[in-house]
Structure 1
Amino acid sequence: MALFKIHALRSDGQKVSLHYDNQSSSLTWQDGESVVEAKPGSFRDAAAVAVDQPGRKGVIRTLKVSLGLSCNYECSYCSQRFVPHAESSNPDDIEPFVAQLTDALIEPPERIEFWGGEPFVYWKTLKPLAERLRQLYPQASFLIITNGSLLDAEKNEWLDRMGFGVGLSHDGPGYHARGADPLDDPEKRAAIMDLYARLHPQGRISVNAMLHADNRSRAHVQAWLQERFGQDVRIGEGSFIDPYDDGGLASTFQTPADHIGFRATAYKELRLGTAASFSIGQQKIMDFVQSIRTARPASALGQKCGMDKADNIAVDLHGNVLTCQNVSAAATAPNGQSHGIGHLSNLQAVKMRTATHWSKRKDCASCPVLQLCKGSCMFLDGKLWDAGCDAAYSDNVPFLAAAIEYLTGCIPFYIEGDFREDRKDIFGQVHGVPDAPKTRVIPIQPVAA
Structure 2
Amino acid sequence: MESEFVYIPTDKTVQSIQFLQTIADKTNNTLDDVKIALNVKQINLNSKEDILFLNENSAPLKITLFDPDSQTQYAKSLLFEPYRLYFVWEDGTPLYSTDVVNDIIWNINTKKKYFSKPTRMEFRIIVGRGCNFRCKYCDQMDGEYTWKELDTSDKNLEKLLYQLYSISKDKEQINFVFWGGEPMLYWDTIVSLTNKIQYIFKEKDIRLGIITNGSLFTEENTDFIIKNNITVTISHDGPGQGMRSRDPFKNPENMKLIYKLCDHLENNFCLNPVFSKENYSHKKVNEYFYDIFHKHIRLGELSPVQVVGDKIYDQRIPEDQLLVYAKETYQYLLDALSNGTNSGYQQTLEGVCKFIYNVFSDYFVAYDHGCPATNENIYTVDLNGDLFTCQSFTTKESDHCYGNIYNDTSTFKPVAPTTYKNRIECVNCPVLYFCRGGCPHYNGQYREYNCRAYFCKWLPFLSLAITILTNGLLVNSIEGNYLRKL
What TM-score, normalized by structure 1, do the two folds share?
Answer: 0.82
Gaps of 5+ in 2: 1-54, 106-118
1:213-362 counterparts in 2 under 5 A? 213-255=277-319, 257-273=320-336, 276-294=343-361, 297=364, 300-332=366-398, 338-345=399-406, 346-353=408-415, 355-362=417-424
Q: How far did residue 192 of structure 1 move?
A: 1.9
1:146 aligns with 2:212: yes
Residue pair 1:269, 1:275 contacting (<8 A) in 2 also? no
- Counterparts in 2 of 1:361 and 1:70: CA distance versus 1, 3 Å: farther
- Work out the number of aligned pairs and report it: 396
Letter of the structure 2 residue corresponding to residue 80 of structure 1? Q
Identical aligned pairs, as a percentage? Answer: 26
Q: What are the superposed Cα offsets for residues 374-429 of structure 1, whole Å, 9 maximum, x if unpaired?
A: 11112111223222111100111111111101110221222121113624xxxxxx
Within the candidate set 73, 90, 95, 1:14 is matched to: 73
Using the TM superposition, name which of 303-312 and 100-109 deviates more: 100-109
Provide structure 1 residue ranges, at least 5 long, that are not aligned to the other structure.
41-58, 333-337, 424-449
- 2:257 alignment partner AA: A
What's the RMSD between the two structures over aligned residues?
A: 2.4
Q: Structure 2 CA distance, aligned partners of 1:85 and 1:95?
A: 25
Match status 1:87 vs 2:148: yes
Matched position secondary structure for 1:91: coil
Q: Is 1:107 equivalent to 2:174 in the alignment?
A: no
SS of residue in 1 equivalent to 2:273: strand
CA distance in 2, matches of 1:245, 1:275: 36
Q: Does residue 1:407 correspond to 2:451, yes or no?
A: no
The answer to whether the 8 Å contact 1:263/1:398 transfers is yes
Corresponding position of 2:191:
127
- Select the structure with the greater relative contact order (CA < 8 A; seq sep ≥ 6): 1
Per-residue CA deviation, residues 288-331 of structure 1 (Å, 9 max, x unaligned), is 2123122574x621222333111111111111111022211425
Q: Which amino acid aligns with 2:150?
A: S
Q: Does the CA-based 8 Å contact 2:151-2:384 persist in structure 1? A: no
Q: CA deviation at 1:69?
A: 2.4
Name the SS of the counterpart of 2:318 in structure 1.
coil
Preserved CA contact (<8 Å) 1:100 1:319 = no
- Separation in 2 of the partners of 1:249 and 1:351? 31
Residues 231 and 105 of structure 1, relative CA distance in 2, 3 Å threshold: closer
Looking at structure 1, the residues matched to 292 and 433 of structure 2 have their Cα atoms a distance apart, in angstroms, of 35
User: What residue number does 1:70 align with?
Assistant: 130
CA distance in 2, matches of 1:253, 1:208: 17
Instruction: Check conservation: 2:297, 2:343, Cα contact below 8 A.
Output: no
2:244 corresponds to 1:182: no
- Specify the SS of the correspondent of 2:330: helix
Residue in structure 2 matched with residue 136 of structure 1 by the alignment = 200
Q: Distance in 1 between matches of 2:295 and 2:89?
A: 39
Task: Please give the TM-score of this superposition, normalised by the length of structure 2.
Answer: 0.76
Q: CA deviation at 1:244?
A: 2.9
CA distance in structure 2 between the aligned counterparts of 1:328 and 1:21, rounded to whole angstroms: 38
Range with bigger deviation, 102-111 or 385-394: 102-111
* Amino acid in structure 2 at the alignment position of 1:152: T
Local SS of the residue matching 1:27: strand
Cα distance change on mapping 1:72 and 1:239 into 2, 3 Å = same
Q: What are the within-5 Å matches in structure 2 for residues 395-434 of structure 1?
A: 395-408=457-470, 409-420=472-483, 422-423=485-486
1:197 partnered with 2:197: no
In terms of mean alpha carbon deviation, does 407-416 or 276-285 score higher?
276-285
CA contact (8 A) 1:111 1:140 kept: yes
Q: Tell me the secondary structure at the aligned position of residue 64 of structure 1.
A: strand
Deviations 1:81-135 (A, max 9, x none): 2452452224213133224323433435521111111111111212101211121
Counterpart AA for 2:444: G
Over 3 Å counting, the alpha-carbon distance change for 1:342 and 1:210 in structure 2 is: same
**CA distance in 1: counterparts of 2:379 and 2:432, whole angstroms:** 24
Structure with the largest fraction of helix:
2
